[in-house]
Amino acid sequence: MPASSQSLKGRISPMRWLLPIIGFASLSAAIPSPQYSSSTHSHAKRWGDLVQRHSWPAVPKGWKFHSDVPEDYKMTLRIGLKQHRFDALANTLFQISDPSHTRYGAHLSKSQVESLVAPHATSVSIIDDWLRGHGIDLSDSNSVSRSSGGDWITVEVTMPQVEEMLNAKYGVYSYGLDSDSKDASSSNRDYVVRTLAYSLPQAVHDHITVISPTTYFGTWRSMRATSFVDTTEVLADVDQNKLAVVTHDGVDIPVDCITNMTPDCLRRLYNIWYKPQATHLNKLGIVGYLGEFGNRADLQIFYERYMPSALGTSYNTTLVNGGGDDQSKPGREANLDIQYAVSISYPTPNIYYSVGGSPPFIPDSRTVKNTNEPYLEWLHWILALKDEEIPKTITTSYGDDEQTVPYDYQITVCNLFAQLGARGVSILFSSGDVGVGGGDCMTNDGSNKKRFQPGFPGTCPFVTTVGSTTHIPERVVNFSSGGFSNTFPRPSYQDAAVSTYLQAIGGMYSGLYNASGRGVPDIAAQGTRFKVILGGETKAIGGTSASTPVVAAMIALINDYRLANKKPTLGFLNPMLYSENVTRVLNDVTEGSNPGCGTTGFPAREGWDPATGLGTPDFLRLLATLG
């Protein structure tokens, strides 16, 4: 677990997250419940009794201190208030996502979710008093705003104000190859305004879930896109119908699909034969970060070569938090996600969310407002939409090492994904491309111990995490990330599957992973040598970023079928995926492992494993089971 405040570490046991009724992880329980009394309210006026909330023992890896922050710099501060009834939301989410429960599919509306996450009136009063005590005019709508659920307050503050409020020292930090340079105009670096530690008064400590920006450095280039260019020779396009075939579960697949993955290969491999019927109701969302833009001209070339029936159609782009859509700069990650999501789900409408952050910090800038924390920015934006405006399937191919994300930030973001799930949205994340961990795999809490490194947000138990396979018959591809969370306990929906695996491997890698943590991935799909058009040229791209939009597109097609038959969408997938009726129709992967951290990684075996999860989809069987 990342370095955390003494208060949190000393008082909180992960077991407190487990609700005894259903055994589900209640993540808000990690923040102690406030005591609502007049004495507490009186104590709230003493703002000098500070308790450290979070700190790093050193500047996070890859970042370097660049300069002090000008005193006239203004910052937009997001303050998350403790959600008074989040336990009820978690209980409800589990019930409506469990096919065996009588409430299955009874998704909540935006207003119903907001009523469950609204803060207690006492929390609001205490936090308001604290803000007023630091000279913040809560009546000024130009500098103060609240979320519709009331669980977030956004305030514009000066640097002296925020440093006094949080007992923090902010600085300008740079990330990039030339980070020793003081040249603030360098295009090779990113700049953020962050602090290495912050504190809160004891009186408000338990009423706040997270404050940002504070100690979360994992943005822009330190946040990874989970794809890469395959450096082996790009093979010429061939007529797959004329090639020798291999048989996969009774289906003939061209041998060329082993080295040239295309939409047609994926359809044959995973039995994706379905014509959407509810495209007026159903949408698939693709979330992109890091200045990655999909290219519409490249999509037409892709269609011309691999799916001529879709020529002339495209996708929509929605800009979030200053995101861009520069058609002169096609992005590898964006093109991969878009070309395979739209082709597999065709003609389902696809929306690409281009999520921005603040521009590079310029030391003499006075009013840079964006916090440049992409998950929070996008989640706040999407949750504010009406229910009918949100795609019911959303895929994202980015992540950070879990240990680089502050503990309270992880909990807060994960709980926001739970809100989306409760509203009937299926959220998929790639597991990552570093096996059980990349680099030296040393912990960053000051102990410098070797430990497997799972990736966030994939470790959040409210999202579905996708790993990768290769070859036919399928086996683990060596880069497929998987393992066990050091933050989130194992949720009940996967307890039996994960326990069976751990019993099978015995003491393997004892001490290198958290055996009681949430296991990832949940499912997998092909992830090597995907043909992608980039800047008009054919590239071979690999990664769990390739696998994730393919699985998401299949989920979107099942949602289409359900909507066409007047049924609710699948929503949060995991309790359903781990149910016996679904696991038996998946393609179990039992060969290979995911090396990393100087080890051969976790071996695949019968049933769930931390390399390919439950296996790969068989679309027609899933449709028959879930439709």
Given a contact cutoff of 8 angstroms between Cβ atoms, the answer to whether 63 and 171 are in contact is: no
Identify which of 578, 517, 513, 572 has the alpha carbon closest to the alpha carbon of residue 15. Answer: 517
And the tokens for 494? Answer: 């996967």
CA–CA dist 612, 626 (Å, integer) = 21
Distance CA 70, CA 364 (A): 7
Give 455's Cβ-side CA count (13 Å radius): 31
The CA distance from 81 to 205, in Å, is 10
Euclidean distance between CA atoms 184 and 190, whole angstroms = 9
Length of the chain: 627
Q: Which residue has the tokens 């310029």?
A: 362
Tokens of 409: 């930030």
DSSP 8-state assignment for residue 442: B
Q: CA-CA distance, 139 to 484, in Å (whole number)?
A: 46
CB-CB neighbours of 450 under 10 Å = 15
**Alpha carbon distance 371, 170 (integer Å):** 13
| Cis peptide preceding 32, ω within 30 of 0 | no
Alpha-carbon gap, residue 88 to 510, rounded angstroms:
36
Contact (Cβ atoms closer than 8 angstroms) between residue 519 and residue 498:
yes
7: Cα within 13 Å, side-chain hemisphere: 20
Strand-strand pairing, 393-396 and 426-430 = parallel
Name the residue type at position 226. T
For 363-423, give the DSSP string. TT-S-------HHHHHHHHHHTS-GGGS-SEEEE-EEEEGGGS-HHHHHHHHHHHHHHHHT
Q: How crowded is residue 455: how many other Cβ atoms within 10 Å of its Cβ?
A: 32
Nearest to 14 by CA among 521, 519, 516: 516
424 is in an annotated binding site: no
What gap in Å lies between CA 530 and CA 523, rounded to an integer?
19
Closest CA to 30 of 520, 498, 489, 519: 489
Give the strand order in the sheet containing 224-225. Answer: 224-225, 398-401, 455-456
Residue numbers annotated as active site: 333, 337, 545
Angle (deg, nearest 10), helices 407-422 and 86-97 = 50
Contact 469, 526 (CB under 8 A): yes
Place of tokens 């699909």: 257
DSSP-H helix ranges across 230-331: 263-270, 296-306
609 is in an annotated binding site: yes
| Token pair 């589990």 in the structure block, residue | 94
- Closest listed residue to residue 398, CA positions, set 498, 548, 242, 270: 548
Residue 588 marked in a binding site: yes
Annotated binding site for Ca(2+): 588-589, 607, 609
Indicate the annotated binding residues.
588-589, 607, 609
